[in-house]
Structure formats: structure tokens, C-alpha cells
Chains A and B, each alone.
Chain A
Amino acid sequence: MNQVWDWDAAWAVLPELLMAFVHVTLIVTVASTAIAAVLGLLIAILRMSVPKPVAVVINFIGDFIRMTPIVVQLLFAYWTFLNVEPLTIGIAVFGIHYSTYMAEVYRAGIESVPKGQWEATTALSMSKTRTWTAVIVPQAVRATVPALGNYAISMFKDTPFLLSIGVVEMVRAGLTFGGNNFRYMEAITLAGVIFLLASYPTSLLISRLEKRLAYNY
């Protein structure tokens, strides 16, 4: 307790943090990003293919999920599905929550596909499925890649919320270590540093990608 920063404690806690980072934080981020990417696209397409009243209902549900806290959703799912593993619940809730954001991004992407493309598919009498899969989606998705990356980063930074449902992710691991050794300083600082080291280069990469995709258009 006497010195401010204790390197021994820092080295002791680092392996635990990294283990939690690889086993929980990364897995949740990757799996949830995948869910959000696919589910978001399905929602976006569904919303444009169904009659208007149904679309309004889907919109409302999407807004509701988007405008309520992810922690509350996590706890809700946790207490409702008691027999499901917390990690699975975490992945599902993060995936669904962010898919509502991604749906908006895809919507903008789909709307940015020139009208002529739609008319061309009609002229070629393509089926609905083929119109979407072969013409619209490939053009719409291109511009949405940076947005997906940004949401992946923000999901990554939201993973500590999982500690509310008892998943031992990086911050939880750090807190446990802090509680056992009365040294919160090293554990929490290192957790922050790991977050920064992982998210900052990724966000730089994404902004470069954004510029490149913009040029190629």
C-alpha cells in the first residue's frame, strides 16, 4: 500500500488480465460482431420487403432495443434464461443490441444504391432473391464496412458490462485481483492500457480503410 505503483503486482496481474482478454473479451467481440453484421442486414432487408404496418412495428422494436441500456438487457436475459450460460447470453445480447445499429447503417447503404440498379434488375426480370444477393447487397455493404468496425470497437469497450451477469472478463479479473491483494491501481490501470492498445490502432486502421473505400468509388 505504501508505494504508488508496484511492478511485482503489475506482473502478477498481467497474465490473468490477458487470459480473460483472450478467452472472454475477444471472443465476445468477434462473435457478437458477426451476429450484428448478419442480423443487422437481415433486419434491414426484412424492413424494406414487408408491408408498411409490419415495418413500423419492426422499427419500433429496433428503436426500443437501441434506446435502452445494454446492461439492463443483459440482466433481463440473464434472469429470464437461467439455464443458459452467461457468456452465451452476453454474446447474444451484444449481437442483437448492435444489430439494431447495424440495421440503420445498412438501410443507409441500401438507399445509396442508385435507383437505376433496381430498374435494371426489373428490366432483366431477376427474381427478388437474386436482386438482393447479386445486385443490391454487394453494392450496399461495401460502404458499411467502416461503420461495422466502429461498432465492433464500441462493443469491445462495452464488454466490461458483462461483469454484471457474472462473466469473468478483463475488468472483473482485475477487480478480483485487486480485492484479494488490496491493489486496484495496477490491475485497473493495466486493463485500461490494454483497452487503449487494442482499440486505438484498430480505429486508426478503420479510418484508413474508410478513406480507401471512399476513393475507390
Chain B
Amino acid sequence: MWITLQLTLGGALLAIVIAVVLGLGARVHNIVVRGLCRTVIEFFRGTSLVVQLFFLFFVLPQFGLELPAMVCGILGLGLNYGAYAAEVVRGSINAVPAGQWEATTALSLSKTQTMRRIIFPQAWALMIPSLTNYLIHMLKGTAIVSFITLSDLTFHTEQLRVQTDTFFAYGVSLVIYFVVAYILTLLMNGLEVRAKHRLGRGEPLREALSVKAPNTTVAAEGGRSA
């Protein structure tokens, strides 16, 4: 359980860093940088996560680079999902209206200022729903690290199965995964509300969380039935 959470959070942190670097790199003008970023993205998206984990775990020692299994796990998950998330970052930045870019030119903001204060905050709000999906995927992806000798939740489930019975052990395990995934989704939704509020859209997080928030519930209901 603990290892599963560590992997998910460690992988997510690494993935977001990689995603931002590759996502920004994939849209610069310099063809060398862009080509490099695209190759890395397509490489990690195109090969299977399992293959990447095994490569880190079995092949790297042949080059004399022996990483602990935990590091392999975090690195593998982070690189794989980072590449997926890089596409989300790139897409969201492209989705920020062109007028925003023009406005920064008109105000003669520097490139860093433009990205950090104008473009990225808006893209961030757009990114969160997709990133939530990938976070859940990553949580589910951690279940394969027992292949590289880590004793995560799935590994312990197998032990519990031997001691008790199949239905109980796997029932408990699936429920734990589901609950963790659900909590992560709620946290990410909170993050989205906050990101939108900072852009001046929607109410602050505290109001959205309070029980008497008729606006959000009505909106959510309306969205479902429409």
C-alpha cells in the first residue's frame, strides 16, 4: 500500500516535470530541440510501460548501472506518463486563445513572463482534467511493479490470497485501489476549481467545498442530463 502510494506520487511529480519540459520543448521554433522532444515523446508513448520497466531493471545493469527497484519504478512510470502528459501540456498551451499572446506582445512582456504569468496559468486549468485521467492511469500502472520485485499492493494481495481466499483478497485490493483513485480524482477536481478561480472564473475552492453550494451542484446535474 505504502509503496503503491510512493510510486504514484513520485511518478506523478517526475511526470509533471518531464511533461512541462517536453511539452514546452515540442513547440519551440528550433527544429533540433523540437525534433528531439518529439522523438522522446513518441518513443515513450510508443513502447509499452512493461518493456520500459524491464529495460531499466534488467538491461541497465549490463551497462554497470544498477538502480534500486524503487528508482526503476518511479523512473519508468514518470517517463512513460510524462510523455503522455507532455502532449496534454502542448495541446493546452496551444488552446490558449491567440489574443492572449497578442496582448503580451502589446504589453511587451518578456518570454518568461508571458509563459509564467499569462499563458501557463490558463493552460494549467485546461490541462487538469486530462492530467487527472493520467494520474489514475499511473495509479493503475503501479500494479505492474511487482514484476520487478517491488512488494506493492498487488504483491501483498497475492500473499493475502494464499492465506485467505481469492474473493476476499482481491475484493479488498480492488476496493483499496478504487478508493485511492477516487480520492485522487476529488483532489484534482479541487485543484481545477482553484486554478479556475485564480483566473477569475468560478468561485473559490472554499465555497465550492461548502455544503450549501447550489451553483455547482446544479451545474453538475445539468451537465449530466443534457
Residues of A near any B CB (own CB < 8 A)? 1, 4, 63-64, 67-73, 75-76, 79-80, 111, 157-161, 163-164, 171, 174-175, 178, 184-185, 188-189, 191-193, 195-196, 199-200, 203
Contact status B55-A188, CB under 8 Å: yes
Docked complex Cα distance between A214 and B127 (Å): 23
- The interface residues of chain A lying within 8 Å CB-to-CB of B40 are none
Nearest 5 CB-CB pairings of A with B: A69-B143, A160-B50, A184-B58, A76-B170, A69-B140
Contact status A171-B136, CB under 8 Å: no
Q: Is the interface of B mostly helix, strand, loop or mixed?
A: helix
- The interface residues of chain B lying within 8 Å CB-to-CB of A157 are 47-49
Contact status A75-B154, CB under 8 Å: yes
Q: Is the interface of A mostly helix, strand, loop or mixed?
A: helix
Contact status B157-A72, CB under 8 Å: yes
* B177 to A, closest residue via Cβ: A68
* A77 to B, closest residue via Cβ: B170
Shortest CB–CB separation between residue B176 and chain A, in angstroms? 9
Contact status A171-B46, CB under 8 Å: no
Interface residues of B in 6-52 (CB under 8 A from A): 42-43, 46-52
A to B CB contacts below 8 Å, 10 in the list: A64-B178, A67-B181, A69-B140, A69-B143, A69-B154, A76-B174, A171-B48, A171-B50, A184-B62, A192-B55
Contact status A72-B46, CB under 8 Å: no
Docked complex Cα distance between A178 and B146 (Å): 19
Known A-B contacts A79-B161, A188-B59; the reply to A161 vs B50 at CB < 8 A is yes
Contact status A70-B140, CB under 8 Å: yes
Docked complex Cα distance between A4 and B59 (Å): 10
* B145 to A, closest residue via Cβ: A71
